Amino acid sequence: MAKIENESAVKEGLEVYQRGMEKLKDSFPLELKDVSSEHQRLSSLATQTFMKRSFKDNEGIFMKCLEEHINKLFDGYLCQNQEASKKRCENLLSSLCAPMTEKIKKGFYAKSGGYELFSQDLEVIVKEYKMEAKKGVKAEDTLEEFLKQKFVDSKAILQADKKLTEKEKKIMEEREKSVLLAQVINTKEQKQQQLEEKMKAERRSNKERMKQMKEKMDEEIRLQREEAKRTMDSKLRVQADLLEKGFKEKADRMTKEMEDFRKKNKEAEKNSDQLFKNMIENMNKRHDETIKLMMRQHSEQMNVIMSMPRPESDSSSLILCLLLAGLGGGSLGSGSCSFPCSC
């Protein structure tokens, strides 16, 4: 009976979570903090729904089941949000890049001075892309892929440009490498920030689960004590009636029964308290393992970022200024950007 009831409780909790996340999905792409915030709220509601119906889940088996299913669903929604962000960013860049694509087809840049014209157009595309809102979690990733593709075109245009000397071409090539390096670092830093947000969300969710578990246990103990009091009051009335009718021997037996009842009830409370402590310990253990994994990923990503060389700031390159401004809040470049732009 308890198994059937608890399975139904898990199902109801998951339905509450899924309904809410399906509504949120209509707004994808969103920033990770917005998805995490709604995940936490719905996870809390799902846990409340489960606890209202759950029955004697003393070892927390079904609570763990709910938690694992919610985390699996959350990972799925995060993937869908990433896909929506990637699609939005690719469509945006495709739209912004359409005039450039047409110019390349017509050979517009295949002339003396063509590389400078191409670079100017690319800078405009990047600036407009950076200004667009609601790009979501794949904004930097998608821009990195775009720049890699465009620098294939750029290299061909650069080599064909007879206006530039070989020395100038080498300088331009180095500048492009700096631009790509800046964007690669931007992408890694965005992923680092997203991992930090996931850790914050996990800590908040675990704290909320602990709170709900304590409230559930406090309520169960309160009900248990009320039931014990009602039973004891009933026994006392029966005993008083026996004494009034002169059945002293039966009344004495009732005294022993009541003493046994008190001991059993006290032992039951002690067992419930221990089960609760075990559930909390297991939940905290799962939480700690999740955080440790995230911390290890965070440390590995940070080591990669810190080991990468920092691109030099170049005030003659608007695109590099825009990208350097994104590095660690603009503080990681080796020089300051003096180009007269909004970065």
Q: What pLDDT does residue 317 have?
A: 54
**Type of residue at 239:** Q
Residue 338 belongs to some domain of the structure: no
Per-residue pLDDT band for 334 (boundaries 50, 70, 90) equals very low
Locate tokens 């992408």: which residue?
187
Question: Half-sphere exposure (CA, 13 Å, Cβ side) for 294?
Answer: 19
Distance CA 222, CA 55 (A): 15
How many domains, in total, are found in the chain?
1
pLDDT of 274 > 90? The answer is no
Q: What is the CATH number of the domain that holds 200?
A: 1.20.1000.10
pLDDT of 337 > 70? The answer is no
Residue 336 belongs to some domain of the structure: no
Count of C-beta atoms within a 10 Å radius of residue 288: 11
> Do 199 and 294 form a contact (C-beta atoms < 8 A)?
yes
Nearest to 189 by CA among 34, 327, 294: 327
Q: What pLDDT does residue 321 have?
A: 62
Section 129-140 average pLDDT: 94
Range of the domain at 198: 2-329
**DSSP-derived 3-state class of residue 70:** helix
Distance CA 85, CA 190 (A): 13
pLDDT of 342 > 50? The answer is no
pLDDT of 310 > 80? The answer is no
Distance CA 130, CA 289 (A): 37
**DSSP-derived 3-state class of residue 144:** helix
Nearest to 119 by CA among 151, 89, 145: 151
Residue 160 belongs to some domain of the structure: yes
> Do 15 and 50 form a contact (C-beta atoms < 8 A)?
no
pLDDT of 275 > 90? The answer is no
Residue 31 belongs to some domain of the structure: yes
Residues constituting the chain:
343
Residue 290 belongs to some domain of the structure: yes
Distance CA 265, CA 284 (A): 29
Residue 131 belongs to some domain of the structure: yes
Q: Per-residue pLDDT tens for 238-253?
A: 989 988 888 888 888 8
Residue 108 belongs to some domain of the structure: yes
Give the pair of three-digit tokens for residue 177: 């490498």
Supply the mean pLDDT for the chain.
86
Per-residue pLDDT band for 332 (boundaries 50, 70, 90) equals very low
pLDDT of 266 > 50? The answer is yes
Residue 342 belongs to some domain of the structure: no
3 state SS for 296-318: HHHHHHHHHHHHCCCCCCCCCCH
CA angle 217, 223, 226 (to 5 degrees): 140
pLDDT of 326 > 60? The answer is no
Residues near 190 by beta carbon (within 8 Å), at least 6 away in sequence = 137, 139, 140, 141
Q: Cα-atom radius of gyration of the chain, to the nearest Å? A: 32
